[in-house]
Amino acid sequence: MTRQRISLILCCIFFCIIGVLHFTSTSTFTRIVPDFIPFPEWAVYITGVMEIAGGVLLFFPKTRRYASYFLIFLLIIVFPANINMAVNHIDFGKVPTAALWLRLPLQALLIYWVYKLRRVE
């Protein structure tokens, strides 16, 4: 198995697990939703479904390119929640505040990772 294929599988698993966590730890995710988003619990459910769908669709060659762009869109629209969490020091389990700030540039790396996977065969 190639490194690209392993990376693809890990990315698919990553998004599916994070998506499932939106349903199993809803209150944790709801706390980081910015105040300007109406119905924060529904926003968490919707983004959870989007993450699971994106992770699954990324796996299949016929939907991989579309899934890649879909996940990039998702990563961009959830970024305000990451900013909100860092700026307002919202407790996200035992994650230190410094890690919340370090997470912000990691979003760009996630976008790059998903973008590179769009052409994996």
Segments making up each domain of the chain, as ranges: 3-117
Alpha carbon of 37 to those of 80, 100, 114: distances in Å?
10, 20, 26
Q: What angle do CA 69, 71, 77 make, to 5 degrees?
A: 105
SS3 state at 51: helix
Is 117 in contact with 68 (CB distance < 8 Å)? yes
Quickly list DSSP for 8-34: HHHHHHHHHHHHHHHHHSHHHHHHHS-
- For the entire predicted model, the pTM comes to 0.92
Q: Tens-of-pLDDT digits for all 121 residues of the chain?
A: 899 999 999 999 999 999 999 999 999 899 999 999 999 999 999 999 999 999 999 999 999 999 999 999 999 999 999 999 999 988 777 778 888 898 899 999 999 999 999 988 7
